[in-house]
A = this chain, B = another copy of it.
Amino acid sequence: MGRASDSKAKLLKVAFQLIWQQSYGSVSVDDICEQAQVKKGSFYYFFRSKSDLAVAASDEYWRVNQPEYDRVFSTSVPPLERIEGYCRMVYEMQRERYAETGRVLGCPFATVGCELSTQDEKIRRKSDEIFNRTCEYLESALRDAAAAGYLEPQEVTAKARAIFALVMGMLLQARVRNDPEVLVDLATTALDMVAPRALA
């Protein structure tokens, strides 16, 4: 990797981590450059603004994490186990971050999307786009669950949105309470929303 692309990669990674751990408003371009050990001139060579960097960093974070989503939501896994696996992945990721930083950080796209949705249209759209991508994984799993008789086909879209809302809301509570154990029963709660009859 050349020096230029190395600087860009460092800026993307550091910006994402700093904004997630703190907030968009509290992190400056100077903070990002300092921690990435990249000169400010290089920053503006790659990005027009902090906002542009945040959008690019969101894409990069999604790109890095997508294989994990593909694995958890693999068609080879029975559909309800995909939902369960997603919830366990969410819990484990938060536990890992907590062990590293002493903080539950919640969902990065929710954090920055919530902070900026009324002020920065590009960031709002990017968060919305990533929310939709996650909902598509859930929806596809629920469509297969419906084909297996666990729920009605006409419930699929609404249930996917509801499970996503549950996960986002629990992540928010975990961040605000700074306690990853808020998420310990997430899989059970989510499965109960899909198919209470299947669990009875």
Question: Which residue numbers of A lie inside 8 Å of B, CB to CB?
Answer: 21-26, 103, 105-106, 110-111, 113-119, 124, 127-128, 131, 158, 161-162, 164-170, 172-173, 175-178, 182, 185, 189, 192-193, 196-197
Contact of A115 with B118 at beta-carbon distance under 8 Å, contacts A124-B178, A166-B162, A177-B128 already known: no
Chain B residues with CB under 8 Å of A162's CB are 166, 170, 189, 193
Say whether B115 contacts A111, CB under 8 Å.
yes
Partner of A176, one of B124, B169, B193: B124
Measured between alpha carbons, how far is A118 from B26 in the docked complex, in Å? 11
Say whether B114 contacts A173, CB under 8 Å.
no
Measured between alpha carbons, how far is A24 from B24 in the docked complex, in Å? 10
Measured between alpha carbons, how far is A77 from B165 in the docked complex, in Å? 27
Measured between alpha carbons, how far is A106 from B111 in the docked complex, in Å? 13
Measured between alpha carbons, how far is A166 from B158 in the docked complex, in Å? 12
Measured between alpha carbons, how far is A175 from B115 in the docked complex, in Å? 10
Partner of A113, one of B24, B128, B168, B176: B176
A117 CB to nearest chain B CB (Å): 5
Chain B residues with CB under 8 Å of A182's CB are 161
Partner of A169, one of B25, B158, B165, B192: B165
Say whether A114 contacts B106, CB under 8 Å.
yes
Contact of A26 with B119 at beta-carbon distance under 8 Å, contacts A111-B114, A165-B165 already known: yes
Measured between alpha carbons, how far is A168 from B22 in the docked complex, in Å? 21
A54 CB to nearest chain B CB (Å): 13
Partner of A118, one of B103, B110, B113, B114: B103
Say whether A168 contacts B173, CB under 8 Å.
yes
Say whether B193 contacts A173, CB under 8 Å.
no
